[in-house]
Amino acid sequence: FYGPPGTGKTTLARLLATETKSRFRQISAVASGVKQLREILDEAHDELATGGQKTLLFVDEIHRFNRAQQDVLLPDVEDGVAILVGATTSNPSFAVNSSLISRSRIFQFEPLEPSQIKALIWRALADEERGLGRYEVTMDDDALDFLAEVCDGDARRALSALEIGVLSSTERPVVYSRRLAEESVQRKALEYD
């Protein structure tokens, strides 16, 4: 999966694992090496050998693995021991070795449209279990438009700003205004600065 952050690459990998009735294993190429990769692949091989489920191995930031680390994946991908789903924000034609590319399909993700971001925000405000539905929030149209535009198609960025604004507001019920939206985006930016 190739595309900008916050466009659903990890979410789609999890859905694929569910729909294919595969075990989902995730590894980040930023924080892991060959040892962890081999452990997951050995576990996948053992699971398959005992009649268990296939493993969907999700490698986040796969472009961060060097060529030798990427080569470790080849035998098990070829033998069908693991279904490999890699995610990258870099062009895989340049960042992933040609042996893996030739055994893969590349799906390019695009930034989300403002209307899609707005729909996600409304879902988050309504979801009492995983979202902010347990809070009473009035969303101003101007604030909604602002969040949908300023996040540049990144759902994670929009949802983080929404959460920061709702949870940091001292008023109840929360009136999510344009001013609060601007402060929430700024706070997030400062957190990562």
Residue 135 has pLDDT above 90, yes or no: yes
Residue 11, judged by CB atoms within 10 A of its CB (0-12, 13-18, 19+), counts as exposed
Residue 3 has pLDDT above 60, yes or no: yes
pLDDT tens digits, 26-72: 999 999 999 999 999 999 999 999 999 999 999 999 999 999 999 99
State residue 73's pLDDT score. Answer: 95
Predicted TM-score (pTM) of this structure? 0.84
| Mean pLDDT across the chain | 93
Residue 24 has pLDDT above 50, yes or no: yes
The 3 state secondary structure assigned to 30-92 is CCCCHHHHHHHHHHHHHHHHCCCCCEEEEEECHHHCCHHHHHCCHHHHHCCCEEEEEEECCCH
State residue 98's pLDDT score. Answer: 93
Residue of 185, 190, 145 lying closest to 162 (CA atoms): 185
Residue 25 has pLDDT above 70, yes or no: yes
Whole-angstrom Cα distance, residue 19 to residue 7? 20
Count other Cβ atoms within 10 Å, centred on residue 94. Answer: 7
Count other Cβ atoms within 10 Å, centred on residue 189. Answer: 11
Q: Which residues pair with 79 in a beta bridge?
A: none
The Cα angle at residue 132 between residues 128 and 134, in degrees rounded to 5: 50
State residue 71's pLDDT score. Answer: 93
Whole-angstrom Cα distance, residue 80 to residue 21? 15
Give the pLDDT mean for 6-13. 96
pLDDT tens digits, 154-168: 999 999 999 999 999
Query: Which percentage of the chain shows pLDDT scores above 90?
Result: 94
Q: How far is CA 102 from CA 70, 77, 93, 96, 105, in A?
A: 13, 11, 10, 10, 8
State residue 187's pLDDT score. Answer: 60
Count other Cβ atoms within 10 Å, centred on residue 151. Answer: 25
